[in-house]
């Protein structure tokens, strides 16, 4: 292992260790390189100290240490953020991954979740009781980062954004104070953490509402040839204009996986996948999605009853750690033909087989709150386009990043100018798109709880000077 210089005095770290129960790692320690490695392989940063916290007391000690020694502070939950904000150079990483507890109250239908828990951890515990809350769609994603940015997934049209199901949080502020925030206590802070990212402190506990989920849902992929893509996507756009909240249908332009339900001749070639998921009576769902299955001449169809837990993990293999990733995202109130044509122009010229272009139908419950109900502002987003470049060879960095940026710029003219903060790959610079009309109020909250901008390694909200 390479030897790294550190800007932090050895005596100061020794003092921290005396009041710390978890593990402290410095650049020359065993385990340091593993601890600084996160999901996106593009990120290669060398923090001065990594504090692997075992509890709230450790978090308080770490925040005080970082503040007192004027260190940049990165906060790691699941380490899945594409921009790599979970790790920094020459600063302090507050690693919350050991704090991964999930406690479910099946009677109250709530869950208390530690900041190191992943979506897989939370689903595993809640689904044992036939309960769930809206989350993302890759198990390795951290609950904390997903929630602080808004959070959406297959349950969102029925039950809203992840933040819409958040009851309360515990937060360690920049002053090292633990506060409990909810609609009734510190309501301004509670408003801010529901979409304002990690700007206001370190959240050490999340309390969620849970909802009953049937043991089986109707879900799967309908695979179409690339030459049929224009008709398929237009049909999808028209079909979802009038569907119940129980039905979510996404479209992905991707390389066909080597799945048994897809003929070998199409494996690895560009296809269009239509992804329905229906929450409710399986026969009713099958009848409802029949127009999707009857359209054209699909080359593969594996839509069937399956466990919700299995569907939540369906795309895990294609999103595993270790690849290089660069993402962009745009919101849309409508999806005209020009938008579809532009999506296909770039979807059909993807730079690598692992790169995808996803068309998400959102709407439903996510759009029924006013824009200022939470810090997440994009309540007019009926559709979201996620442009996710993925590759292994560093020599392809410029090509893949350039393609993603070009696709984003070409689609921007049709969009709302809003973007999903969790799909930003730059460390800074897209705050206006992420926070929209709620930005000024977020500045007020930031100024109240972090006036010195201690927590700035994020899509940063600068406090009033």
- Give per-residue pLDDT as tens, 131-141: 999 999 999 99
Average pLDDT for residues 420-432, to the nearest whole number? Answer: 88
Report residue 221's pLDDT band, with 50, 70 and 90 as the boundaries.
very high
Report residue 183's pLDDT band, with 50, 70 and 90 as the boundaries.
very high
> Above 80 in pLDDT, residue 296?
yes
Strand partners, 461: none
Average pLDDT for residues 188-212, to the nearest whole number? Answer: 98
Buried b (16+ CB within 10 A) or exposed e, 298-333: bbbbebebbebbebbbbeeeebeeebbbbbbbbbbe
| % of the chain beyond a pLDDT of 70 | 99
45-104 residue pLDDT tens: 999 999 999 999 999 999 999 999 999 999 999 999 999 999 999 999 999 999 999 999
Average pLDDT for residues 326-336, to the nearest whole number? Answer: 97
CB 311 within 8 A of CB 154: yes
Strand partners, 391: 324
Report residue 8's pLDDT band, with 50, 70 and 90 as the boundaries.
confident
> Above 60 in pLDDT, residue 443?
yes
CB 110 within 8 A of CB 208: yes
CB 109 within 8 A of CB 211: yes
Of the candidates 298, 300, 296, which has an alpha carbon nearest to the alpha carbon of residue 235? 296
pLDDT at 465: 79
Report residue 9's pLDDT band, with 50, 70 and 90 as the boundaries.
confident
Report residue 6's pLDDT band, with 50, 70 and 90 as the boundaries.
low
Average pLDDT for residues 397-412, to the nearest whole number? Answer: 98
360-385 residue pLDDT tens: 999 999 999 999 999 999 999 999 99
> C-alpha 457: how far from its chain's center?
17
Domain 216-423: give its CATH architecture.
Answer: 3-Layer(aba) Sandwich (3.40)
Averaged pLDDT of the chain: 96
pLDDT at 3: 47
CATH 3.40.462.20 in the chain, residue ranges: 216-423
Q: What does CATH list as the number for 10-95? A: 3.30.43.10
> Above 60 in pLDDT, residue 241?
yes
> Above 60 in pLDDT, residue 4?
no
Q: What does CATH list as the number for 102-213? A: 3.30.465.10
**pTM score over 0.85:** yes
pLDDT at 430: 86
pLDDT at 5: 53
Report residue 429's pLDDT band, with 50, 70 and 90 as the boundaries.
confident
Torsion of CA 285, 143, 433, 251, to 10 degrees: -30
112-125 residue pLDDT tens: 999 999 999 999 99
Q: Going by DSSP bridges, is the β-strand pair 73-76/92-95 parallel, antiparallel, or unpaired?
A: parallel
Report residue 10's pLDDT band, with 50, 70 and 90 as the boundaries.
confident
| % of the chain beyond a pLDDT of 90 | 95
pLDDT at 428: 77
**Residue that the structure tokens 């410095």 belong to:** 26
Of the candidates 153, 384, 154, 164, which has an alpha carbon nearest to the alpha carbon of residue 278? 154
pLDDT at 383: 98
CATH 3.30.43.10 in the chain, residue ranges: 10-95
């Amino acid at each position: 292992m390479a030897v790294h210089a550190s800007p932090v005095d050895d005596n100061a770290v020794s003092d921290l260790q005396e009041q710390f129960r978890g593990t402290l790692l410095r650049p020359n320690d065993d385990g340091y390189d593993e601890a600084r490695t996160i999901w996106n392989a593009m990120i290669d940063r060398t923090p001065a100290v990594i504090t692997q916290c075992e509890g709230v007391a450790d978090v308080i000690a770490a925040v005080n240490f970082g503040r007192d020694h004027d260190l940049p502070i990165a906060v790691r939950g699941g380490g899945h953020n594409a921009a790599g904000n979970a790790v920094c150079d020459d600063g302090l990483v507050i690693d919350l991954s050991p704090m991964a507890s999930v406690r479910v109250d099946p009677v109250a239908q709530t869950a208390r979740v530690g900041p190191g828990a992943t979506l897989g951890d939370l689903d595993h515990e809640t689904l044992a009781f036939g309960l769930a809350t809206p989350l993302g769609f890759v198990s390795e994603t951290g609950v904390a980062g997903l929630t602080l940015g808004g959070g959406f997934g297959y349950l969102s049209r029925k039950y809203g954004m992840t933040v819409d199901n958040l009851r309360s949080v515990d937060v360690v502020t920049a002053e090292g104070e633990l506060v409990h925030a909810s609609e009734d206590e510190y309501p301004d802070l509670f408003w801010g953490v529901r979409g304002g990212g990690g700007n206001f402190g370190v959240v050490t506990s999340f309390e969620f509402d849970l909802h009953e989920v049937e043991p089986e849902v109707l879900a799967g992929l309908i695979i179409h040839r690339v030459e049929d893509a224009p008709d398929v996507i237009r049909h999808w756009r028209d079909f979802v204009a009038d569907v119940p909240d129980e039905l979510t249908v996404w479209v992905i332009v991707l390389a066909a996986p080597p799945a048994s339900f897809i003929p070998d001749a199409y494996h690895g070639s560009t296809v269009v996948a239509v992804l329905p998921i229906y929450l409710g009576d399986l026969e009713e769902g099958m009848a409802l999605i029949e127009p999707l299955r009857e359209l054209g001449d699909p080359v593969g169809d594996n839509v069937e009853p399956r466990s919700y837990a299995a569907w939540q993990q369906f795309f895990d293999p294609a999103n595993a750690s270790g690849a290089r990733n660069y993402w962009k995202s745009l919101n849309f109130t409508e999806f005209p033909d020009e938008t579809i044509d532009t999506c296909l122009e770039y979807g059909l010229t993807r730079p690598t087989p692992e790169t995808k272009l996803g068309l998400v139908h959102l709407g439903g419950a996510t759009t029924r709150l006013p824009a200022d109900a939470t810090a997440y502002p994009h309540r007019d987003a009926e559709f979201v386009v996620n442009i996710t470049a993925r590759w292994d060879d560093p020599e392809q960095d410029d090509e893949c990043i350039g393609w993603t940026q070009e696709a984003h710029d070409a689609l921007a003219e049709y969009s709302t100018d809003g973007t999903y903060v969790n799909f930003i790959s730059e460390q800074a610079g897209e705050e206006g798109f992420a926070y929209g009309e709620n930005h000024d109020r977020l500045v007020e909250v930031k100024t109240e709880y972090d006036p010195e901008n201690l927590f700035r390694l994020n899509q940063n909200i600068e406090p009033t000077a």
